[in-house]
A = this chain, B = another copy of it.
Amino acid sequence: MVVSSQSMKRQLKKLLVANRGEIALRIIRSARLFGLRTVAVFSEVDAMSAHVAAADEAILIGPAEPANSYLDISKIIAAARQSGADAIHPGYGFLSERAEFARAAAEAGIVFVGPRPEVMAALGDKVAARRIAAEAGVPVVPGIETGEVSAAREFAERADYPILVKAAAGGGGRGMRVVGESAQLESALEAASHEAAAAFGDGRIFIEKYLARPRHIEVQILGDEDGGVVALGERECSIQRRHQKIVEESPAPGLSASMRTKMIDAALSLARAANYTNAGTVEFLVEGDNFYFLEVNARLQVEHPVTEMRFGIDLVCEQLRIASGGHVPKSLAPRGASIECRINAEDPEHDFRPATGSVLHLSVPSGPCVRFDSHLAVGAEVTPWYDGLIGKLICFGADREEARRRMVNALDEFALLGVTNNAAYLRDVVASEQFRDAKLSTHFVEEFFAGWHPADADITAALIAAAMTADGAFGEDRQAAGAPRPGAVNRSPWESLKNFELWGSRR
């Protein structure tokens, strides 16, 4: 089918993208392809970032602080009104799973690219979602729907420690605590509730039996207004740090055809039970031959490209078609295998501590079956204000091993200077025996890559490079040296280290 806003039940004209970074850029591209004008919103610190330049219009909505910009529903609705946008795409994170945002858009007569508000509300509440899943006959993890201390203790004794304390409004591992023994229980409940309240303005928590060594496998679904529902295969997302995915792939290695069918059927019946529309993801925990409903992400996922690569489909265009009243595609045949690595501004040598800075040098892999979704470019700033995801590297292959080797090579071609990042860490993960042999569980990182450090050979190469750099082989960071414009002269302590003449080939 031709991607186009033409000949749709509702012909959209202008889309406001209520997000930033790589996903805003990626949505703008597909919206343009779909024939829509695009409106970017941005905070003061993002004025010069890529999504602002990419859109047809851009509106400043506030200061860096998310609460007063990207999380401010009224400002975003106002921006949509001001620009005459007839649709809003929330991306992921920020307001993407806030039912009240979808509701506010609807009240303003603006199409929200996502499920209906009431569906978002129901699925966004993990406790309610558990109920819907159970009623739809989807297996759920044993647990109780309260964080009340005595009930929690009673459940924990019965189900046996460790147990998992989760925020009803949670997401991204926030407000989540594993409790190994009763001594920790009360403080864990308190801490989780506190973090949940701070993060989501909703301190409700609930409790589930903690699965020892599960895999995280999710199913991509699409639903349309006329009840059409389709599943686009699964994604394996077991490799996580701090409860956040860093490597995802499709298909899930070694998943039996029967398991896959069962999980896809479960996802579809859940989608039907919830009257789900637009794109969503049903997440499961898998242990042995059992799978349990984890949650529904009622939005586009960060890792959606691994599905796009296998199915040859543009999920954002599908979202826009559905939002225009169009139908889900007839179920498509996937092909090959794909893997995504999330390049984060963080320090893998120090518990993935967030990093910031401005990009001084960037080398991006390319070529056949390699895709890099990013808003980065030399000169771009990574600020402390927002999520540390700065790029997604996706590789396709005829099979998993081909995709894996392509990813190793692609990461070897990647270089980013100025912002500490996890590229070398991801490279070692994907190149490892354990990943090659798909020894996958949500504990993969702790089991195999705890205390990771770069190889000594790499450090030696870096030291030689450092000596050459000190000697002026590659020039100064003019900004850092305090020379905003070309033409200024630097003073540098390194000059004093030079022990011989400049050489010609130096640039």
Contact = CB atoms under 8 A, between A and B. Distances in A.
Given A33-B402, A33-B405, A484-B507, A368 B2 contact: no
A372 B379 contact: no
A406 B314 CA distance: 11
Nearest to A35: B405
Interface size grouping (class) on chain A:
35 or more
Interface in A63-105: none
Count of this chain's copies in the oligomeric assembly: 2
A9 B366 CA distance: 31
B3 A398 contact: yes
Contacts of A4: 401
Contacts of A374: 366
A367 B26 contact: yes
Nearest to A1: B398
Contacts of A366: 364, 371-374
Given A29-B367, A373-B366, A399-B2, A507 B379 contact: yes
Contacts of A485: 472, 475, 502, 506-507
A136 B396 CA distance: 38
Interface string A434-460: 000000000000000000000000000
A25 B366 CA distance: 10
A54 B412 CA distance: 10
Contact of A398 (B313, B316, B399, B484): B313
A335 B313 CA distance: 11
A369 interface: yes
A432 interface: no
Interface stretch (A258-266, A292-300, A463-471, A486-494): A486-494
Contacts of A33: 402, 405-406, 409
Interface of A: 1-4, 25-26, 29-30, 32-33, 54, 305, 308, 312-314, 316, 335-336, 363-364, 366-374, 377, 379, 396-399, 401-402, 405-406, 409, 413, 472, 475-476, 478, 484-490, 502, 506-507
10 contacts: A4-B401, A25-B367, A33-B402, A33-B406, A33-B409, A312-B336, A313-B398, A364-B366, A484-B507, A485-B506
